[in-house]
């Protein structure tokens, strides 16, 4: 029953009259990467902050690793590694000094912190920069430092709040490799996480869990499960493939010339819900079960206005299509 | 009680202080600057007041009166004029503060025993005005007494009648009434309350402003450990500053240190608790370092003025006197002046010490209760 590392029920957070989080239930298993997606202002950061106890919920309960946040907040926090959206290391301290500081105040002794810090700096690839002031790191390196500092105490739960926003694609890729490596290696207690032979200790079910919020769909698709937030609620939650399956047969890819005419024509069709541009092609979302009808009607229509079609077919929906569809959907 | 987490914060805090030249300058140079400014410039000893004379009499008697004024250090007879317009102009331009007008019939009336001279004062600077006024009266009185004595001698009376009442003065502790003795202990109090409260308020608010508080919040560190770790470096710095001012005050300005060193440390520590508490309290009300600074100023400025540092509390209206009881600097000023200048023991200052303890506990308690290890 308590296979869940994180259990949050009916979370609410009001800032004055604003309902930033409005009834969120969240359960995350051991070893799971849970993605929290949604547009800006959907309540992702507030949810994260509620989960780490940085904000007090207006209503609702959270337990982390079995510790109730209301009664055992410090115990719960000792199991958490948290990377906030805003860079929150000390810019005037060096990389190593930052890690040491956060390791020590999380209770690592002086004999423990150094080997472990070096191990983690190696892991995130910052060993060569250990004496550089944090303020002089690039954006991506700052995020890696944040991750390293969050990992130094070997948390069972890692909360990453938009860790890759504003980071270049290569570093984003790196960052994800780190997260995936973390989760696939099994976990804590005494054997080092990052060692070659980190075997699963007995009685310690599962690996590190990660809750990550992100505005990027390619990142969301790497998560085991994705919760889609809108207006303070999780309005859809499933595995990326199940989420995509919701739009099976409802996304057409349309290519041709001139693209504006194609777009206009698609918009005119009565069974088209939305048209989104993906580079030189259009994704046309249509009503359920109308694909054949729409393909026929649309190609006739486009030809009649003198435009050309190079491609018009049903494609497997991308998570982005689902994201857009959900963003536009009505909710209660 | 002392644990490694607190020590980690202290270490980090010192690292940051030493890497921030502005803070460092504020800690080391500001006390010295204030000390010299207040030790020299803020002296309330009024000397060498510029005086203009219109001597219409031009007699031996009038010159004797002028000599009497010259003899007192308080006046320098800078100008001699021949009309009211002339001295009026000098006073208006600020070139002179005081004008002494001796009437043409001065010598005749003096023999008759009712000589009068006119003293015109520039009252725009109340301190100088008041000193000039009282000194002029004293000089005049002393001179009259002397004349009376001489006249008595001349008229053949054997006994010189003395003034009916003579007040003999004895000034204890600071016989020269050197105002540095009074000001420098005050500077210690002022600096301790200003610098430590500003530094603590900004160091805590800086964590919030730069977002590092979010990372601190999610560590298992407890609120009191965070507060202790944040404040202790400034306790240490506060003591270093106290020593710095005391030693410079002692060696440079000759301020005596007559009381026991232990008592000075103890009472300064108690006072530090109050100003750190004010800083902590201000930090719970501010979101940016600027706001924190303003909040601390808001607390500190009235405190300085009502503490008895610049203006004697006894001269304040009753209402402000009552308010001043809630000001820790008031007690510390009494304590540190007594300890340094009078060299008293604990008994003489016990009620002030108790007041400091009470204030320190209350403000620290209130601030700690307000301090939340949360973002909202």
pLDDT tens-digit series, residues B222-245: 888 999 999 999 999 989 888 988
pLDDT tens for B257-267 read 988 999 999 99
Check residue B34 and give its pLDDT: 83
Question: Do residues B37 and B62 both lie within one domain?
Answer: no
Residues of A in contact with B213 (CB under 8 A): 88
Question: Tell me, what's the pLDDT at A296?
Answer: 92
Q: Within this chain, do residues A25 and A108 fall inside the same structural domain, yes or no?
A: yes
Model confidence at A2, pLDDT cuts 50, 70, 90, reads: low
Whether residue B220 lies within 8 A of chain A, CB to CB, comes out as yes
| CB proximity B17 to A under 8 Å | no
Give the C-alpha separation, A84 to A45, whole Å.
8
Q: Per the structure, how many domains does chain B have?
A: 2
Residues of B in contact with A77 (CB under 8 A): 218-220
Burial track B178-201 (b if 16+ CB lie within 10 A, e otherwise): bebbbbbbbbbbbbbbbbbbbbbb
Quick one: A161 and A253 in the same domain?
A: no
Residue B233 and residue B206 share a domain: yes
Q: Is A42 helix (H, G, I), strand (E, B) or coil?
A: coil
Contact A105 B219 (CB under 8 A): yes
In a domain, A228, yes or no: yes
Cα–Cα separations (whole angstroms), residue A124 to A111, A128, A136 = 21, 11, 17
Which pLDDT score is estimated for B266?
A: 94
Give chain A's mean pLDDT: 87
Give the residue-averaged pLDDT of B84-101.
Answer: 89
- If asked whether residues B230 and B116 sit together in one domain, one would say no
Query: Which residue in B8, B16, B19 is closest to A105 by CB distance?
Result: B8
Of A77-91, A307-321, B29-43, B309-323, the poorest mean pLDDT is in B29-43
At A90 the pLDDT is: 95
- The answer to whether position A295 is within a domain reads yes
**Which pLDDT score is estimated for B160?**
54
Are residues A232 and A20 in contact, defined by beta-carbon separation less than 8 angstroms?
yes
Q: In chain B, what's the furthest Cα-to-Cα distance?
A: 98
Q: How confident is the model at residue A198 (pLDDT cuts 50, 70, 90)?
A: very low
C-alpha A150/C-alpha A123 separation (Å) is 13
ipTM confidence: 0.81
Burial of B323 (0-12, 13-18, 19+ CB in 10 A): middle
Q: Provide the residue range defining the domain that includes B210.
A: 4-43+178-370
For residues A271 and A136, membership in a common domain is answered with no
Q: Are residues B360 and B299 in the same domain?
A: yes
Residue B201 scores a pLDDT above 70: yes
pLDDT for residue B61 is more than 90: no
- CA of B229 vs chain A CAs: smallest distance (Å): 11
Residues of B in contact with A106 (CB under 8 A): 219-221
Query: Do B295 and B352 share a domain, yes or no?
Result: yes
Q: What element of type H or E holds A67?
A: strand A67-68
Q: Are residues B344 and B229 both part of a single domain?
A: yes
**A64 and A211 share a domain?**
yes
Which DSSP state fits A305? T
Residues A58, A171 share a domain = yes
Which of A128-132, A305-309, B38-42, B162-166 is predicted least confidently? B162-166
**Residues B199 and B142 occupy one common structural domain:** no
- The reply to whether A323 falls in a domain is no
A297 found inside a domain: yes
**Residues B195 and B127 reside in one and the same domain:** no
A84 and A17 in a common domain:
yes
CATH number at residue A276: 3.30.70.100
Chain A residues with CB under 8 Å of a chain B CB are 15, 49, 52-56, 74-75, 77-78, 80, 82, 84, 86-93, 97, 100-102, 104-107, 109-110, 149
Q: Which residue of B has its CA nearest to A147?
A: B215
Give yes or no: residues A115 and A189 share one domain: yes
CA distance A229 to A41: 9
The predicted pLDDT at position B134 comes to: 81
* CA nearest to B208 within chain A: A88
A222 and A266 inside one domain: no
**Coil, helix or strand for B164?**
coil
Give the pLDDT of residue A330. 63
Average of pLDDT values for A34-46? 92
Please state which of the ranges A139-148, A239-248, A320-329, B137-146 shows the lowest mean pLDDT. B137-146
What does the alpha-carbon distance between residue B101 and residue B264 come to, in Å, rounded to a whole number? 52
Please indicate, yes or no, if residue A325 is contained in any of the structural domains.
Answer: no
Confidence at residue A203, expressed as pLDDT on a 0 to 100 scale: 35
Residue-level pLDDT at A191: 38
* Residues A98, A61 share a domain: yes
User: Is a pLDDT exceeding 80 seen at residue B315?
Assistant: yes
Average model confidence (pLDDT) across chain B: 85
Inspect the interface and report whether the beta carbons of B374 and A54 lie closer than 8 Å.
yes
Is there a single domain that holds both residue B250 and residue B298? yes
Structure tokens at A194: 């990052």
Q: How confident is the model at residue B43 (pLDDT cuts 50, 70, 90)?
A: low
* Cα of B281 to nearest chain A Cα, Å: 20
Say yes or no for a CB contact (<8 Å) between B12 and A86.
Answer: no
Q: How far is B5 from chain A (nearest CA, A)?
A: 5
Same domain, A131 and A212: yes
Is a pLDDT exceeding 80 seen at residue B171? no
**Residue span of the structural domain in which A278 resides:** 249-315
For the segment A199-214, the average pLDDT, to the nearest whole number, is 65
- Whether A253 and A213 map to the same domain: the answer is no
- Give the 3-state secondary structure of residue A115: helix
Compute the nearest-CA separation of A128 from chain B (Å): 22
Task: Read off the pLDDT of each residue in B286-309 and give the average, rounded to a whole number.
Answer: 89
* Residues B347 and B243 both lie in one domain: yes
pLDDT at A64 over 50: yes
If you search the block for the tokens 């290391």, which residue do you land on? A89
Percent of chain B at pLDDT > 90 equals: 28
Helix/strand/coil for B293? helix
- Provide the percentage of residues in chain A whose pLDDT is more than 90: 58
Residue B164 forms part of a structural domain: no
Phi and psi torsions of A282, nearest 5°: -115, 140
For A286-318, how does the pLDDT look when each residue is reduced to its tens digit (9 = 90+)? 999 889 999 999 999 999 988 999 999 999 999
Residue predicted with more confidence, A135 or A190: A135
- What's the whole-number mean pLDDT along residues A268-281? 90
User: How far apart are the CA of B23 and the nearest CA of chain A, in angstroms?
Assistant: 13
Is B292 within a domain?
yes
pLDDT at B322 exceeding the cut of 80: yes
Q: Do B222 and B242 reside in the same domain of the chain?
A: yes
Q: What DSSP line would sit under A252-294, residue for residue?
A: EEEEEESHHHHHHHHHH-TTEEEEEEETTEEEEEE-TT-HHHH
Percentage of chain A lying above the pLDDT 70 cut:
92
Q: Determine the residue of chain B that is closest to A57 in CA distance.
A: B376
B29 falls in which pLDDT band (50, 70, 90)? confident
- Any idea which residue has 């006119």 for tokens? B118
Look at B15 and A49 and tell me if their CB atoms are within 8 Å.
Answer: no
**Cβ neighbours of A211 (radius 10 Å):** 26
Residue B244 neighbours by CB distance under 10 Å: 17
Taking an 8 Å cut-off on Cβ atoms, the answer to whether B210 and A78 are in contact is no
């Amino acid at each position: 029953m308590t296979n869940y590392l994180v259990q949050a029920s009916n979370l609410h957070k009001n800032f004055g009259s604003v309902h930033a989080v409005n009834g969120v239930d969240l359960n995350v298993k051991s070893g799971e990467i849970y993605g929290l997606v949604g547009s800006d202002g959907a309540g992702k950061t507030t949810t994260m902050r509620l989960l780490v106890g940085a904000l007090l919920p207006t209503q609702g309960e959270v337990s982390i690793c079995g510790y109730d946040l209301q009664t055992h907040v410090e115990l719960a926090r000792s199991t958490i590694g948290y990377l906030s959206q805003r860079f929150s290391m000390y810019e005037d301290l060096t990389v190593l000094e930052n890690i040491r500081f956060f390791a020590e105040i999380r209770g690592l002794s002086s004999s423990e912190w150094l080997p472990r810090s070096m191990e983690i700096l190696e892991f995130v690839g910052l060993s060569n920069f250990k004496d550089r002031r944090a303020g002089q790191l690039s954006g991506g390196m700052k995020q890696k430092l944040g991750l390293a500092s969050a990992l130094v105490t070997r948390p069972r739960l890692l909360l990453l709040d938009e860790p890759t926003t504003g980071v270049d694609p290569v570093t984003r890729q790196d960052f994800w490799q780190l997260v995936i490596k973390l989760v696939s290696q099994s976990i804590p207690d005494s054997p080092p996480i990052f060692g070659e032979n980190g075997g699963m200790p007995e009685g310690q079910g599962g690996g590190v869990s990660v809750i990550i919020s992100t505005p990027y769909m390619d990142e969301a698709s790497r998560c085991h499960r994705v919760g889609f937030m809108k207006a303070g609620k999780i309005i859809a939650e499933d595995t990326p493939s199940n989420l995509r399956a919701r739009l099976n047969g409802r996304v057409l890819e349309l290519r041709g010339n001139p693209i504006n005419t194609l777009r206009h024509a698609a918009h005119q069709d009565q069974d088209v819900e939305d048209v989104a541009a993906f580079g030189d092609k259009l994704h046309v979302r249509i009503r359920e079960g109308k694909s054949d009808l729409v393909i026929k009607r649309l190609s006739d229509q486009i030809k009649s206005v003198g435009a050309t079609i190079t491609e018009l077919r049903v494609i497997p929906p991308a998570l982005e299509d689902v994201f857009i569809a959900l963003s536009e959907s009505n909710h209660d | 009680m002392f644990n490694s987490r607190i020590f980690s914060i202290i270490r980090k805090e010192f690292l940051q202080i030493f890497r921030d030249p502005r803070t460092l300058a504020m800690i080391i140079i500001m006390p010295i600057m204030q000390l010299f400014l207040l030790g020299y410039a803020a002296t309330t000893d009024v000397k060498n007041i510029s005086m203009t004379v219109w001597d219409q009499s031009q007699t031996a008697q009038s010159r004797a009166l002028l000599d009497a004024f010259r003899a007192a250090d308080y006046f320098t007879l800078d100008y001699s004029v021949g009309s009211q317009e002339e001295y009026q102009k000098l006073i208006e331009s600020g070139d002179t503060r005081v004008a002494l007008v001796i009437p043409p019939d001065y010598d005749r009336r003096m023999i008759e025993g009712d000589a009068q001279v006119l003293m015109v004062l520039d009252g725009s600077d109340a301190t100088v005005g008041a000193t000039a006024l009282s000194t002029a009266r004293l000089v005049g009185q002393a001179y009259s007494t002397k004349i009376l004595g001489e006249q008595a001698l001349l008229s053949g009376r054997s006994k010189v009648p003395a003034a009916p009442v003579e007040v003999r003065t004895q000034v204890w502790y600071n016989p020269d009434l050197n105002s540095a003795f009074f000001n420098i202990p005050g500077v210690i109090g002022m600096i301790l309350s200003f610098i430590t409260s500003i530094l603590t308020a900004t160091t805590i608010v800086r964590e919030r402003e730069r977002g590092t508080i979010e990372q601190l919040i999610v560590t298992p560190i407890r609120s009191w450990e965070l507060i202790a770790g944040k404040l202790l470096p400034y306790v240490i710095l506060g003591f270093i500053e106290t020593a710095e001012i005391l030693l410079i005050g002692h060696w440079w300005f000759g301020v005596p240190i007559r009381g026991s060193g232990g008592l000075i440390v103890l009472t300064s520590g108690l006072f530090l608790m109050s100003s750190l508490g004010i800083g902590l309290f201000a930090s719970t009300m501010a979101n940016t370092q600027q706001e924190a600074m303003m909040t601390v100023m808001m607390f500190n400025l009235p405190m300085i003025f009502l503490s008895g540092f610049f203006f004697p509390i006894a001269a304040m209206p009753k209402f402000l006197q009552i308010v001043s009881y809630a000001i820790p600097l008031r007690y510390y000023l009494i304590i540190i002046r007594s300890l340094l200048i009078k060299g008293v023991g604990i008994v003489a200052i016990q009620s002030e010490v108790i007041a400091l303890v009470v204030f320190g506990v209350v403000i620290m308690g209130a601030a700690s209760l307000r301090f939340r290890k949360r973002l909202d």
